[in-house]
Amino acid sequence: MSTTENKSVEITKGINGLEKVTLREIHGSSVEVYLYGAHVTSWKNEQGEELLFVSSKAIFKPPKPIRGGIPICFPQFSNLGPLEAHGFARNRVWAIDPDPPAFPPNVNATNRVFVDLLLKPTEEDLKIWPHSFEYRLRVTLGPAGDLMLTSRIRNTDGKPFTFTFAYHTYFSVSDISEVRVEGLETLDYLDNLKNRERYTEQGDAITFESEIDKIYLSTPTKIAILDHEKKRTFVVRKDGLPDAVVWNPWDKRAKAIADFGDDEYRHMLCVEAAAIEKPITLKPGEEWKGRQELSAVPSSYFSGQLDPNKVLQSS
Ligand code: TA6
């Protein structure tokens, strides 16, 4: 945790008395993260506008994972293994590290506000997934309001283990029909709606007019989500996470999800930095790092005109 007069970390009780940490940055942006699931449920820009989608029907009550925000999928993505869907990290209560390590020397820590959350398996967890690990999630709010999530997972066991992973980020969008995603054109993907068969995406930016649930493979480190109505572009930068899932349940499936409003599919889009196709294996003592950085910038960024990297550098 880091607290000085101009930036702050505050621990309070959130919905249903669940503990949450609020990070506030001097220019007015903020982030909320629940200890339940180490689940980011809010990310607001300097104008106080919410950038993440959380369902009005979300149930903040263990063991139900929170619908929206940024669920952590670990140690299993979806049903790709014997565990409950998306693994158990999203419905365990994490601990705050009161004395976290400093940022590495090459990172400018000025005006960054952050919290480190820790997860270690309980005896009960070891019965369903018999591998000891230490998971450190650093949630950082940068001076331009960027939201950075850094996961460090260490094998503290005597034998190797393997896992899949995703930051299941629900972005808030004005209207899904006004949104397009750039950076995934021409890539191969596994289609979850077609038994995970492999296809190749066409050459245009991705737009939305029906249910989508695809795992794009070997994706670039930057993906842009353009919201024309809002004139806002989200830029996802990722490291250690080669895949990217794109999900919108659309109308029919939305109705079948109890903690999701019938029409809410219009106002959300999941773009999830992930490691799925090639599961991560850690030997005893080894550590894996997976990082996602989110920025929201005005859509002076249009296709081909501005490199998302330049947007990031100027913000
Ligand atoms: O990431 C996409 C996905 O795996 C979809 O298949 C869809 O089921 C979604 O996640 C939500 O999963 P959840 O377990 O949170 O209902």
pLDDT given at position 110: 82
Q: Is the dihedral of CA 8, 274, 151, 17 positive or negative?
A: positive
Residue 242 has a CB neighbour count (10 Å cut-off) of 19
Distance, CA of 292 to CA of 42 (rounded, Å): 16
- Annotate 256-307 with DSSP letters as a single string: H-TTS-TTGGGGEEEEEEEEEEEEEEE-TT-EEEEEEEEEEEETT--TTTS-
Per-residue confidence in pLDDT tens, the chain, 315 aa: 544 444 599 999 999 999 999 999 999 999 999 999 999 999 999 999 999 999 999 999 999 999 999 999 999 999 999 999 999 999 999 999 999 999 988 888 888 999 999 999 999 999 999 999 999 999 999 999 999 999 999 999 999 999 999 999 999 999 999 999 999 999 999 999 999 999 999 999 999 999 999 999 999 999 999 999 999 999 999 999 999 999 999 999 999 999 999 999 999 999 999 999 999 999 999 999 999 999 999 986 544 444 544 444 332
Choose the residue to mutate in 54, 83, 213, 216 for probing ligand 1, maximizing ligand atoms within 8 Å of C-beta. 213
So what's the pLDDT on residue 4?
44
E runs forming strands in the chain? 8-13, 19-24, 30-34, 39-44, 72-73, 95-96, 113-119, 133-141, 147-155, 161-167, 170-172, 179-182, 188-191, 197-200, 212-216, 222-227, 232-239, 243-248, 268-282, 287-298
| Residue of 77, 270, 271, 277 best suited for mutating to test ligand 1, as the one with most atoms within 8 Å of CB | 270
Task: Tell which atom from ligand 1 comes closest to the C-alpha of 86.
Answer: 14
35 C-alpha to center of ligand 1: Å?
A: 21
Tell me how many degrees the CA angle 170-174-179 measures, rounded to the nearest 5: 75
Q: Give me the pLDDT at residue 3, please.
A: 46
For residue 99, what are the contacts with CB-CB under 8 A and spacing of at least 6?
A: none
Catalytic site residue from 39, 86, 131, 168: 168
pTM of the model: 0.93
Distance between CA atoms of 137 and 230, rounded to whole angstroms? Answer: 31
Among protein residues, the one whose CA lies closest to atom 9 of ligand 1? 247
Predicted pLDDT at 2: 46
Contact yes or no for 237/248 (Cβ under 8 A): no
Mapping DSSP to helix (H, G, I), strand (E, B) and coil, where does residue 228 land?
coil
Catalytic residue check, 168: yes
Q: What is the DSSP letter of 50?
A: B
What pLDDT score was predicted for residue 299?
A: 86
Point out the ligand 1 atom lying closest to the alpha carbon of residue 77: 4
Residue 293 designated active-site: no
56-68: buried (b, 16+ CB within 10 Å) or exposed (e) per residue?
eebebeeeebbbb
Residue appearing with tokens 């989110």:
294
Cα–Cα distance, 282 to 164 (Å, whole number): 11
